[in-house]
Structure 1
């Protein structure tokens, strides 16, 4: 398979990643004291919509966050991870690629405003699906609206 097929750039691919993900490791999560920041608000929303959130701190936060123990590396998270949601600046992602490759989640999701094509290529070549520059909360809300619309037809 061509590795470029692992780069998710269309709505159908985004829907597929969301629909097939339950366990989300959040790299760069913030604690409740930063509830106004997307790095807390987005995983909080996802948890409220049935996702199992696994906090991975890079800012020194101590656990628990969202009632879950906090890990310092994605590879340290026990069990399988469906998707790693990344709240890191684009230039900081390169420092996490080896950790992400070690865990080998089904997908890695760079939050809205975050693109790192070189890191995305490395992950995609390893068979990991990659979403860039999209908000997981916004995309989940769009999916819910579509499902509600089709249910009322």
Structure 2
């Protein structure tokens, strides 16, 4: 798939069918983009599981933080990645190793790795990179 641009229906379908999200790189700091996006997603009715090893066991926006993706207590539909692009390949590997892999890997603004995307797509996962669901949601779901 060409990740330079996305069909509106592709992203809208992901946003409509996703119910649970693991947010990797979640921050308790309200000034951080990950915190603002997590707040937005919660406000839209998504169940969000923050993942950040430095915050594990604490709470962010009332949600328990998990150390790693495998610690999230239930399968998730989407993994939203607030980590540097160099980590995306490893994150895809972690996601694929889960008993129930997610349906979507979403790389936030600036997070793009076409090799990692190809690996995820070969396993039939959908991939969005260099986009933010808090920007796409109002644009496509309003």
* TM-score, normalised relative to structure 1: 0.83
In structure 2, the partner of 1:42 is 37
Q: Is the 8 A contact 1:73 1:99 kept in 2?
A: no
Tell me the number of residue pairs that the alignment of Structure 1 and Structure 2 aligns: 139
Q: Is the 8 A contact 1:85 1:109 kept in 2?
A: yes
More helix, by proportion: 1
* TM-score, normalised relative to structure 2: 0.89
Q: Which runs of 5+ in 2 are unaligned?
A: none
Among 48, 55, 60, the alignment partner of 1:61 is 55
Q: Is the 8 A contact 2:41 2:134 kept in 1?
A: yes
User: Equivalents in 2 of 1:14, 1:37: separation in Å?
Assistant: 24
User: Equivalents in 1 of 2:92, 2:14: separation in Å?
Assistant: 20
Residues 125-140 of structure 1 mapped to structure 2, 5 A cutoff: 125-140=122-137
SS of 1:42's partner is: helix
The Cα of 1:144 is off from its aligned counterpart by 3.2
Residues 1-153 of structure 1 mapped to structure 2, 5 A cutoff: 4=1, 9-31=6-28, 34-58=29-53, 60-62=54-56, 63-103=58-98, 104-145=101-142
SS of 1:17's partner is: helix
Q: If you compute each CA radius of gyration, which structure gives the higher value, 1 or 2?
A: 1
Shifted more, 16-25 versus 88-97: the winner is 88-97
User: Equivalents in 2 of 1:55, 1:144: separation in Å?
Assistant: 24
User: Equivalents in 2 of 1:73, 1:123: separation in Å?
Assistant: 18
